[in-house]
Structure 1
Amino acid sequence: MKNKILILLAFFTILKAFSETKKETFNYKVSFLQFQDVDSTNLQKFALIEKQYKDKDYEQSLEGALILLKSDIDPLLRYKINMHISEIFRVNNNHKKAIEYLLKSVDIFEKSTSLDGLSSPKDVKYLVQPYFMLANEYLRLELKDSAKVYYDKVLNFNGSSKEIMSFKAKTSSTLSGIYMQDSLYSKAKEYAQAAITIHRQYNNKISESAALGNLASIYLSQNEFKKSKSIYEEALDLIKHEGGDRALRIKQQLYYNLAYNLYKLEDHEAYKAQEESYNLKDAQRDKEIRRIIENLEKKYNFDIEKEYFLEQAKNKRLEEQRIFWGVAIACLLIIFSLIYVIKLNNLKQNNLALKLSETKLLQNQQIDKIKSETQVRILNATIDGKESERKQIAETLHDSVSALLSSANLHLQATRKQFNGSTPVEIDKTQQIIIEASHKIRDLSHTLVSSVLLKFGLNFAVKEIASKYSNSELVIETDIQNIQRYHQNFEIKVYNIISEFINNILKHSRAKRALITIIEENGRLFITIQDNGVGFDKTKINEKNGLGLNQIDARIQIMKGYFNIDSSKKKGTKISIELPVIEREIMTHV
């Protein structure tokens, strides 16, 4: 039963890779009638709404679309706006709302007299697409019966253009997966074969290969291992010369399922198929990392406006320093005046008693200072221990345990040659287990310490965490200038401090925007983290809630840095940190 579940998961991954559309703004951006009666201003407004969506400003895009719907607009534009709103709700996982606006789009197309009698394939696509999208949304809500109603509408739709047949193929593949999940294998095969036929008709090799993989998975679920093996090999042969992300993703899943199929047939080629699947997955992961780096480099090419913001922040910091020194001098003058008055009043008192009092005061201050420094060092040592332990475990897993597993695998490979082609199944199984363990150890070592931080440094790691936690509710921006690679322990400490503050923003601030600024000047790192959230009263932080801040304060003190929080209710929060840079060690060769 467990193996069947794994097969089904792999099958639906292939199905998802096949059936999902590319990451475009919308699929329905095809003009099917001239907008003769539509005011050009409304078209300009709709273009702005689409741009806001593309920039992931979903709130503004939705607000603009809802306002435009209230205007006197052409039915075709009204259709497009409803489709647009449905898409916004879909990407934000509000599937019930997505269905509501899809149904409005269908209703406009079916009932509007100005749209009657359309026969062009591009025109008809405007009805078959919302049918398909409605079915998908119902399926996401696990309402299979409602989903099947609209999938049937797609399959029964009149028309044989390439676009319409593409929707029918996607629908057939999805229905095949549904019936396979329900163990109705005869129907599942029927729909899988229908998808294969359509893709073959239009020479779409990648989609045909995915559909063949679906068919093979059905036979695999029925324990018809020889039949499923033959179909998997046919699917792989079809795309052996194809490149691109989708083709590689489908190949990886096909090899993965084929490996299990061969294992059930007790075929030693199972190991090679599994190894090929892992190699393809690693290649995809490396490609994705390169893409992330390229996007980061493009995304964080700051314009003049952000340079102006940076200059303003710098000026504000200098102004705060001037105020600080002004207040400090005034305090010193007051203190000196008080001391002078006290001395005048105490001249008549016993000098010995005065000396004793001063000595006692100094002793108490010294004791308080020792206690404070001890608490800071204990707290800092605890944090240092955790970071060092995580880093040590990650390095041990990656450098030592992985090396031992690789060595064991090589020994087994050498042992294989001694059997003259008749290798015992146990050796194959052992090698599979060793390879799987190697991959899991590698993934675990990356989880303990940020792999982006270790490989590419603080710059990319901070940008990655900002991108990771940004969403439609909170946008986190970064402004990083003139920083380089530093000592690894220093980078880990700074990264953990920033991560702690970002977590506080996510948990408590209810902010819409946040900005992380990092600048290196004269051997010192200036870090500012600010948000426009609800803020807080620093005087009302209890010991439990302030534990995280105490830990950060201890860390910054031991790093000989400066730390300040500026916050008040409903006015956001600004964190200012200043740290002396610890340069990266240079290795010398003897």
Structure 2
Amino acid sequence: MPQQARIILLFLLLLNISGLGVLAKEKMPSKKEITVLTKEACQDMKEGKFEKSLIKSRIALRFAIAIKDDNLIATIYNTIGANFDEMSEFDKAFFYYNKGLVYAKKTDNYQLKNWLYNNLGNIYCFDKKQYEKGIFYYKKSLEYSKKINDISQIVFTKLNITWAYFDIGSFDEGYNYLQFINKHHEKYGDESTIVALNMLNGMYYGHKMDIKKANRFFENAIKLGNKGKEKSDLSFSHMEYSKFLLKNRQYQKAYENLDNYNTISAALNNEEKLKKANVAGINLELDQYKREIDIIETKYQTKQQILIERQYKNKQISVIIIASLLLIIILFYFFFQNTRLKQNSKLKDIQSKIQENIINASINAQETERKKIASFLHDNISAILSSAGLHLTVFTSQNQSPPEEIIKTKSLLKEAHDKVRDLSHELMPTLLARFGLFYAVEDLCEKNSNSAIDFKYSSVIPAKIRYNEDFEMKIYFIITELLNNITKHSQASKGTVTIQENNQSLFIDINDNGKGIDTEKFEFIEGFGLNQIQARINNLNGIFSISSKLYNGTVVSIVVPVVH
């Protein structure tokens, strides 16, 4: 283990034992300090100091998780993945890149998302050989490059997409990306991609059988690759050039490039084996670090757990108290609202009863006045007019040629007598007074029938049955009002009045085949006549209901206790 790494770990352990450091007494480093440590880990990775980078990354990751900073967590996972990527531990790199992407998606850090998608695209294409997935991730990376308007990154990502398409022979799909790179690489590209760009141009023109351009680009890629430090692109250039030369039957030159490819690849493989050997040692040391750090984490988490449990209990008590208060407030509110609704309901019932009593009082007064006026007209005025007419008849019989004025007076008295009699009968029908309800209702149906509407009367109750005079009068005028409504408003051609008696109650059904009404929208208050009928029936302790549908007639049902 390098001396510097041992010193860092020993320092952290001493801090924990003494209780003076960031791991003791539940103290945490600031976000700024964690960010600095994260940047140091990234820089160590770029310099090839993978062991140091991974140690710092793990420490920074634990603190980043503790402060729940998604951006820092995703950045550290990306750095850990990049370390393993550089050490050719692609499965581990793939695992950490994916973990980083989970947290990056919770942030607005487009640059970080761009890196993670691009890194995953590299592993899918160059390690797993799953080109469709790789291209998908490259294109997601490209979306975020465009969002941050990073032209250099756009050039780099489009280079990867072009390479992936050309690797699977989709030259037409990759060509648009290649055109963009050729246009912008000089200004926004760098030396690390110039070899790959020339190789890709050679592949494209080789596919198009433009031998001159293909040779020029491949040879340029190899020339630049020999000058640079990055040998993997140079090896790929020799391989692709060899394929092109073989295709064009330049076997000697193809063999030379293939031999160069094998030589460079062998050297790269040896380097990779050395890296993996070093990685094996690093992993053993990292496991030891991890166990030691886990001990520190366990102590830290135990204290944190006690604090969390205490806070949780306090929260539970607070929640119970608050919930109880809320429940009391809600119950009190509902009790108050219920009391208020009951009071309002009682007030409405009282108002409705008062209104009904006013209507009933008015109707009773009207009916009393009807009887008085009818009686007065019949017993007094009609009798006087009859007596005067009788005297004139006697006078005219004694005088063979009575004056013309006497004859006219006699005619006027007769007319007045007939009108008074008719008015008396309207106020109080003679049939109702003399013969009872059933004769009067039957007569009422006949009188209301005409060429437009025909009313039929039906009852199994003997017509001679009599009830209380006031009761009969009230029922008669209720039926009269309902028949008038049918005649005026229903546009019916037929109507029926049916009366039955059962269990000391009178059942009256009045129906018609008219246009009907919408009972869902209908309210009694809309018609004052129906209000009066409802009030009369309520006064008789009866039940009043209307059953109707639009264009399907109406049935009015009345049930009232009989008053003998």
Q: Give the TM-score of the pair, scaled to structure 2.
A: 0.37
Tell me which structure has the larger Cα radius of gyration. 2
Q: Give the TM-score of the pair, scaled to structure 1.
A: 0.35
- Greater fraction of residues in helix: 2
